[in-house]
Structure 1
Amino acid sequence: QGSARLAGSYGSATQAQVRLDRMNLSVLSAFMPNLGISGQATGSLDYAQASGASFPTADARLTISNFQRTGLAAVSEPVDVVFAGRLLADGGEGRALVRRGQTVVGRMLANLRPLPPGAGSWTERLMSAPLSGGIRYNGPSAVLFSFAALPEQQLTGPIAIAADFSGRVSAPRLNGLIRADNLTYDNETYGTRLSQMQLQARFSNDRLEITRLQARAGDGTVQAQGTVGLAADSGYPVDIRAQLNDARLANSDALAATTSGTIHLTHGRDGGLIQGDLTVPNARYQIIRQGQAEVPELTGIRRRSELRPGRPTDRPAAAPVGLFKLDIRVRADNQLFVSGMGLESEWEMDLRVGGTNAAPTISGGLDLVRGTYSFAGKRFDVNRGIIRFRGGALTDPDINIQATTTTDGITAVINVTGTGQRPQIAFTSTPALPQDEVLSRLLFGTNPENLSATEAIQLASALNSLRGSGGGLNPLGKLRSATGFDRLRVLGGDDATGRGTSLAAGKYLTNDIYVEIVTDARGFTQTQLEIALTRTLSLLTATGSFGGSSGSLRYSRDY
């Protein structure tokens, strides 16, 4: 694993010496998990400063062998990095080489000349020092991207950079070009992949101008243009516009979504702003609470530091770096699928996202298009679904969902109201029966007083699963993902049509045409077609193999 040695002293004079001997860079994962950097570092660093006000001197020599970054999606090509740098009161320089095998793929040279004594403190002299040099790189982009230290994110593919330095350390000026024709970006958290990425940009003094950025995102595309400021004096201004066209921005087990629309990101001295108008042609969300372990959390516990009263001299906390205000509208006319814990549903959405990226606020809501809910072997039709956000956190909306089923001569209704963090679940029925009797009839077809001890335990377990602590496998969800269907569900038998227990599979042919095929093991087949004529009017047709066809118009509107 190599070794590291440190020696030095601190006081009126400061000295420090660091020696690395084949130190494995994977130790960085202890400070930044999932970084995925590996390689062996050998070298030295010597630092000395006669007093706190004097100009320091430093000398660094570092060699990194087999520098590499590994992730779930890609593994970068190993390279060797050599760096040598020196800082003195009258000037400093740094040189670096990047080798892939025996081929040099990158070079860097930087020189600076600090201002003479009397021009301010040593830090002011250093930041105002004239800068010169340049960088030439033509190799794997993963090497440069690794310096961004972004866990669970990867950038692969060749990239070419040629730029010259000038200006000052606090306000550098660069002139040069960036070119790439086949980059791939992977985000392992959300399953995002941008492939066939083409990048054309140029350095123009104190800013980077992105003239072209284009990539494939699933079956869609992402395009962007804009500028990124490089000078601290001007607050690193940013102005980037992106156009999304059916871009698949998430593709994980829990979330999959495609998006179209525009995003405008700006940043200046007064902070940043992200504006957008997005539509979601297709999205799937898998409720992942099922089967998870529940860990109780103690309440009323506070740290000792939280009990200490604030002092008058305490300074207010600085605003977090990278804080952006949000002004984004997100819409989905349909095909927003939510499943899990027995729920199979489709929604439409109109949301506005405000606040900041650290504390977003949500307003607007979701409305049900269609849905079913399976509970204890019974199938409920979800006939009402309303979710509303009141400008607060995404996790605590108002909920109003109703599902019904008919069994044993009664119509049972499940009502879910309250908020996302405090849902209230209640049973009603027609004719009216007590809640425990409704559930007992659903599960066992009899009154609660007729239940055996085992059945009573099953009744309590069913009530507990409604509170979200139950769960289990979701084979239909896995099968739907594998086959590519938009909706997959099991239907009970229907004596009126001659249908036995059946499997129903549905898919959108276009954004307005939905087709579903129902079949059972006895040869029954029915094709159902829904055509959205307007946002409120739909045409529904059904044709079965045992004879009989039907057609109807459906009008629906939220009030």
Structure 2
Amino acid sequence: MIMHRFRWTVWRRILFGFFILIAVFASAVILLYQSGFIHEKLRALAEQRLGEYSGRDVRIESLTGSLISDATFKGLVIGHEDDIEKCTCLDVESVTVKYNIIDFLRKKIRLREVVVVRPIVYLGRDSEGHFSLKEVFRPTRPRKGGPSKFSMTIDNIYVKDAYYSMDVNFPITEYEHCYVHSRYSVRRGIHTIEVMDSSCYIPAYDLQVKSFGGRITAGGGNVILQDMYARTDLIDVQADGLVEYSPKLHYTISTEGSRLEASEIDRMFFGERGVISGSMDVNSTLEGGHGWFRSIGEVSIVDGVLVKYPFESFKFDYLYSDGHLVTENVVIDMEGGHFKGEAELYSGKRVSMYNLHFDGTGVDFAFFNNLYKIHTNLELGVVMAGSGFTKETLNSDIVFDVRGGKVGGVAIDSASGTIGLRDMNCAFENLNISIGGASALIKGNLAFDGSIDLFVDAVDIPVNAITSAFDYEVDRGVAHTLIHLAGDIRSPDVSGTVTLKNVYSDKLGADDVILNVDVVDVVDEPEGEFEFKGWGMNVYGVPLNKLTMKGMVKPKEIIIKGVEGFMPRGFFVNGDIKYSYEDIERKEILLTDFGIYVRGFNILSTDEVGIELLESGIGIRRCELRFLDGVVNIQESYIKGEEVHLELAGGGLSVDALDSLLGTTGMFYGRVERFKLEIGGSLTNPDILFSMKAGGGPFRYMEDADVDIGLHYLSDAVHIDRFDLSGSVGRLKVSGYVPISLRALIKRERPFYEPMNLKVTSDNLDLRLVNNFTNWVFVDGGSVDADIEVKGMPDMPYFEGDIGVRDGYVVIGKYGAQIRDINGEVKLQGREFIIESETPIKGKMDNGYVTTSGTITLPTSVGMPDFNLHILMSNAVLRGVPRVTGIITADVFLTGTPKRDFALRGKVRVHEGLITYNFSEAGRAGTASKDSMDIELYILGENNIWFRNSSADIELSCDMRLKRKDGIYNITGELNALRGYYYFLRKDFQIERGDVVFEGGGEINPNIDILGFLMIRDREENKEAPVYIQIEGTLKEPEISLYSPDYPNLSQEDIITIVALNMTWDEYRQTGVGELAGSQTREYIERYVEDELARSLRRGTGLDTLRIRTNLISGGEKESIKITVGKYITRKFYVSFTSDFYNTQGQSFTAEYYLGRRFSIISETFSEEGAYKYAFGFRYRLRF
């Protein structure tokens, strides 16, 4: 017991002493902590440890926090300010670290968690960036026995607005405005940086890299680049590489599979000069270090442009080192050919040199400058060697050897020579060209500023070799040219001689063409240039509507012998031409044995014509021309300035030849027996005397007519001395005068200055002459008597007199309508053409007539006349409406002015009509021109209007209004069914009632409400049950439903089944599938035969109704052939008869007389059980 108490007392004293020791130790630690001694030691220890790990100087302003497991470093700086120019430095506001105090005291750092607040990284060269740690990172513990360096991972590092550069001989070493998103980790001394979707700006090339990234691994003095990429809008570069920075810098980068637009290379390296474009693939290796760089690889570009020349593909291998570029295996595929070759270029600080060697096959390219675009296609070899890349520094020679091809369409056999490029000048040194077996030599200079000094000497060059370039074949002929070009290439001075010998082709030819030329400089002329407008000519398809010349080649003499060939518009010429130029006062063109043909007809020929070109005009020597198979004698004539004198006379001219000249068919007839034309005075106020007598012409229907014309122009007026047309076409006389000022007409001023006075009379004048002036109508007979005085201004005439039309016959071509026996009178009073209602213009049309009366008023100025006509039509055939025809009577008014307020209004009654629109087919109604006439018609039809298509035969009445305003149609009103059938499931549903209602709008798509019925066999023998069909909706989208009061529980599908199979419901349920198929097939065959037979007979007999129904094919208990025929005896009286050939008891006769559109009287006779019965009643149709 004592021992036990002693032991407890000892332990209690030991424990108490231990607690006292701990308390003393804790108090000491607390005192040291409060005094800052421990914090200062820890801060110094942290600076030491971080300095060891980073290899940099570390400065920590203070350290606070828990002593056991965490601490916060304030003002952490790694590196000194004097290091900023050499390396990156880190400045952090605070770092909070969670750690184990025992490991820290044992000089081991095992960090559990680190939080960094507001870090700043200095990147050198007075630039800085910012990065932030979005997440807390936890470094990992190194393996036991591993290296002493710690391991850690930093996620989501962001660096913004950073600037960076380094002294490395690498094209891209400076960056601005960098935005970097990365992840950093250290494992066993290996540093890894993963860069994700970052961006930067490269100022050296004005290049914005929108996205770059990849993996960077560093350790042991090496940096490995993996899956690196960089992308812009036009560049996508992929790269892998190795950078060795110890003991010296050396890098190797591979860019396999990189893609970029060559236009971006042009922008960065050539300043967007259009040197290169296209889609580029690059596979290359870049290698370099301090002070050196080289690259080797292959490039492929497709669908691009090289120095403004398009190509399909451009491939080459290259080696670049320190300004020295060597390209091999260069292949450029262009349209029609390709280039192959190699090139070597060197570009240094003081000198640039190059040596290019290429072979071309089928090369097609163009030469551009301000004036010319010459396409070529050559087989050639080119060697170019020299120095300088700009016009000012260019010093090189081009040696070429052309083995064949074309230049501008001209075939080249071969060519060789040297072109020297130096001193802003292009020197042609003995450029020899072989064309068609002959040779040409070119020597001289062409300066870059546009000045030219060239000699061209060509001997016996085949003309065809040159003209074939312009799609103009020459059968024979050679050219000898000695030409000197000097001055400005845009308007060179040309002198020398061109001689063409024995030139001939099927289009144009000559035995000899000799041109001796020099240059006339017209700069000293008053206008400085010559301009011709509105020529209206075509030379082999090239329009010459305007020609401007600032310097004219002046031929001294041109002699063309044996000219023969086709000219534009079907003209053919032959003869000799001589043009001589003696001085500025006298030039002459002499045509000898000259002829002009059109479509094989000789319209003009002469032995000799001399045309003198005067300084202020033109003169013609006395000569004789053969024109249109006649003779024209020209006396000495001339035009000198304003003065004019022309005198010619002739006769025997064939007017028929005008058909060949103008390309018309049968429009002109007869001959001009004699004519005379004299013109004197001045061009702006000439005196003109013209007389002509023609026999048998000059137009159609005037074969036996004679024309005698005499008129003169004097004192600004055309005086018609006589105009007499007589013969089989009747007689027409015109006399009087028309004042007109040619001077004002030339100045494009109003030429009329006082009233005219004309007298026009005709006696039995053939109306068919109208066909010469219009093809809208065809006049096949009739005559006109007229006695008219025309006064007032020519552009605002007024009339007095009468016109009578007799026995006219007109066919309106657009609608095919024929109006016969047209007779009537028209009075002319001032500007009004009056057709009196007592004496209207009346004619027969179809089986009826048409009558017109009213007025037509001419405008007070240029424009369309105003109409106010009353038109009556009886029994006319309706035309011009698609899928609608009929016989109508109309009472309409045509008023207003075309293209302004033209309108047709009135009533139309339809006696017979046929409409053939199909269901599910609507017509557009609003597509007419805004200039079309307005229409407002009331259309009424009581009966006999049939709506027929593959689904229906329905007789209708109508009450409708058709309007068209500003080109927009609007149809309102209704069509009501009187009788008929609707065909559905090959059954005839008899129409009980029906309405088709038009409600206007932009589409012909009326509403439909039609009710029909069909009698089918009932459950009980010898009884029938009705099946009703209801058609509602619109014409375009009809809705069809069936129902039967005797089968109220059957669905619509069941009703369709028994109707289609012609069975009762009980029979359908008891019959097998095979029997159903056979019964249905026989039913369809029977109905097809019935329908086709009825349609054929109805077309042949003209009946309004014809129906045939039989069961001879499908079979039945009682054989039956039932025929129903119906016909309108008059427009209001309809009769029909029904008979069964196998059952005489089934006959019936029905007669219906229409008292109005909805009211009719019906009488019916029918046989029943051997006795005839009669019925009489009234029918009134209600619409609901």
CA distance in 1, matches of 2:1166, 2:1027: 28
1:536 deviates by 4.6
Instruction: Confirm whether residue 490 of structure 1 aligns to residue 1116 of structure 2.
Output: no
Match of 1:507 among 1127, 1138, 1157: 1127
* Secondary structure of the corresponding residue to residue 144 of structure 1: helix
Equivalent of 1:329, from 932, 938, 950?
938
1:130 CA displacement: 4.0
Distance in 1 (CA, whole Å) between partners of 2:742 and 2:815 is 52
Q: 1:207 aligned to 832, 839, 864, which one?
A: 832
2:1162 matched residue in structure 1: 540
Amino acid across the alignment from 2:893: H
Q: CA deviation at 1:275?
A: 1.6
The DSSP-based 3-state class of the residue aligned with 1:122 is coil
Describe the shift of the 1:123–1:255 C-alpha distance in structure 2 as closer, same or farther (beyond 3 A): farther
> Partners in 2 of 1:143 and 1:63 — Cα distance?
16
**Structure 1: gaps spanning 5 or more residues:** 1-5, 29-36, 44-53, 69-76, 295-318, 463-469
Of the three residues 740, 765, 784, the one matched with 1:160 is: 784
Q: Take 2:770 and 2:938, find their aligned partners in 1: how far apart are those partners? A: 34
How far did residue 514 of structure 1 move? 2.0
Distance change (3 Å), C-alpha of 1:369 and 1:216: same
Once residues 67 and 442 of structure 1 are traced to their aligned partners in structure 2, the CA distance between those partners, rounded to angstroms, is 71
Helix, strand or coil: the match of 1:548? strand
Residues 416-455 of structure 1 mapped to structure 2, 5 A cutoff: 416-430=1031-1045, 431=1047, 433-445=1050-1062
Q: For the structure 1 residues 129 and 63, does the alpha-carbon distance in structure 2 shift closer, same or farther, using more than 3 Å as the test?
A: farther
d(CA) in 2 for partners of 1:359, 1:198: 36
2:740 matched to 1:114? yes
What is the match of residue 278 of structure 1? Answer: 908
Aligned match of 1:194:
819
Q: How does 1:386-405 map to 2 (within 5 A)?
A: 386-393=995-1002, 395-405=1004-1014
> Residue type of the partner of 1:220?
G
Give the whole-Å Cα distance in 2 for the aligned partners of 1:384 and 1:142: 54
SS in 2 for 1:284: strand
Structure 2, unaligned runs of 5 or more: 1-535, 539-543, 549-567, 572-597, 600-656, 672-683, 922-928, 1019-1024, 1112-1117
Contact 2:732 2:765 in 1 (8 A): no
- C-alpha distance in structure 1 between counterparts of 2:964 and 2:882, whole Å: 28
Equivalent-residue separation in structure 1 for 2:1092 and 2:734 (angstroms): 57
Q: 2:733 and 2:1072 mapped to 1: Cα distance?
A: 83
**Could you say which residue in structure 2 is the equivalent of 1:228?**
856
Q: CA deviation at 1:254?
A: 5.4
The CA distance in 2 between the partners of 1:426 and 1:90, in whole Å, is 83
SS of the residue corresponding to residue 795 of structure 2 reads coil
Matched residue type, 1:329? Y
Q: Please give the alpha-carbon distance, in whole angstroms, between the structure 2 residues aligned to 1:537 and 1:255.
A: 26
Instruction: Tell me if structure 2 keeps the 8 A contact 1:413–1:427.
Output: yes
Residues in 1 aligned to 2:856 and 2:1166: alpha-carbon distance in whole angstroms: 61
Conserved in 1, the CA contact under 8 Å of 2:705 and 2:729?
no
* Corresponding residue number in structure 2 for 1:526: 1148
TM-score (norm 1): 0.67
Deviations along 1:392-434, one digit per CA (max 9) or x if unpaired, are: 2462222222332123546444433332333334444553645
Distance 1:250 1:104, change over 3 A: closer
Deviations 1:198-251 (A, max 9, x none): 222233332222231222334433222111123352851111012334444459
Alignment of 1:347 with 2:956, yes or no, is yes
Q: CA deviation at 1:117?
A: 4.7
Measured in 2, the distance between the counterparts of 1:90 and 1:389 equals: 63
Give the CA deviation at 1:380: 1.4
SS at match of 1:333: strand
CA RMSD of aligned residues (A): 5.1
**Deviation of the 1:541 alpha carbon:** 2.2
AA aligned opposite 1:332: G
The one-letter amino acid paired with 1:336 is I
**Distance in 1 between residues matched to 2:825 and 2:748, nearest whole Å:** 39
1:168-187 paired onto structure 2 within 5 Å:
168-187=793-812
Residue 313 of structure 1: aligned partner: none
Partners of 2:1011 and 2:685 in 1: CA distance: 73
Displacement of 1:264 after TM fit? Answer: 1.2
CA change 1:289–1:555 in 2 (3 A) is closer
2: CA distance between counterparts of 1:63 and 1:359?
53
State the alpha-carbon separation in 2 of the partners of residues 89 and 555 from structure 1.
81
On the 8 A contact 1:518/1:525 being kept in 2, the answer is yes
Q: How much has 1:550 moved relative to structure 2? A: 2.9
Secondary structure, aligned partner of 2:750: helix
Matches within 5 A, 1:96-111: 103-105=728-730, 107=732
**Where does residue 144 of structure 1 map in the other structure?**
770
- Check if 1:551 corresponds to 2:1180: no
Counterparts of 1:115 and 1:386, CA distance in 2: 69
Return the letter of the residue paired with 1:147.
F
Name which structure has the greater RCO, CA cutoff 8 Å, separation 6+.
1
| Shift of residue 351, structure 1, vs aligned partner | 1.0
**Any conservation in 1 of the 2:953–2:982 contact (CA below 8 Å)?**
yes
Which region of structure 1 is more displaced relative to structure 2, 536-545 or 346-355?
536-545
Give the CA deviation at 1:145: 4.9
- Counterpart of 1:39 in structure 2 is 666
C-alpha distance in 1, partners of 2:1161/2:1032? 31
Structure whose alpha-carbon radius of gyration is higher: 2
CA distance in 2, matches of 1:252, 1:353: 12
Offset of 1:382 from its aligned partner?
Answer: 1.5
Sort the Cα spacing of 1:499 and 1:444 in 2 relative to 1 into closer, same or farther, 3 A: closer
Q: What does 1:42-81 correspond to in 2, within 5 Å?
A: none
Q: Is the Cα–Cα contact under 8 Å of residues 717 and 740 in structure 2 kept in the other structure?
A: yes
Return the alpha-carbon distance in structure 1 between the equivalents of residues 753 and 1028 of structure 2: 70
The CA deviation at 1:267 is: 0.8
Looking at structure 2, the residues matched to 415 and 86 of structure 1 have their Cα atoms a distance apart, in angstroms, of: 82
**Post-superposition shift, 1:114?**
2.1
**Residue among 894, 902, 917 paired with 1:265:** 894
1:141-176 per-position Cα deviation (integer Å, ceiling 9, x unaligned): 3441563432xx544321214244332332222334
Please state how far the C-alpha of 1:119 moved relative to its aligned partner.
9.4
With normalisation by structure 2, the TM-score equals 0.34
Tell me, what secondary structure is at the counterpart of 1:124?
Answer: coil
Q: Is the 8 A contact 1:325 1:357 kept in 2?
A: yes
Tell me: CA distance 1:508–1:129, structure 2 relative to 1, closer, same or farther (3 Å).
same
Q: Secondary structure at the match of 2:902?
A: strand
Q: Which moved more, 1:410-419 or 1:124-133?
A: 124-133
8 Å contact from structure 2 (residues 1151, 1162) kept in 1 = yes
Give the conservation status (yes or no) of the 8 Å contact 1:193–1:249. no
Q: Which residue pairs with 2:11 in the alignment?
A: none
What is the Cα deviation at residue 558 of structure 1?
A: 1.5
Comparing 525-534 with 187-196, which one deviates more in the overlay? 187-196
Distance in 1, Cα, partners of 2:1091 & 2:712: 61
**AA aligned opposite 2:1122:** S
| Residues 244 and 477 of structure 1, relative CA distance in 2, 3 Å threshold | farther
- Conserved 8 A contact 1:199-1:214: yes
- Which shifted more, 366-375 or 173-182? 173-182
Q: 1:103 is paired with a residue of what secondary structure?
A: coil
Q: State whether residues 765 and 785 of structure 2, in contact with CA within 8 Å, keep that contact through their aligned partners in structure 1.
A: no
Question: Deviation at 1:331?
Answer: 1.1
CA distance in 2, matches of 1:88, 1:378: 86
- Pair 445,335 (structure 1): closer, same or farther in 2 beyond 3 Å: closer
> Partners of 1:88 and 1:221 in 2: how far apart?
51
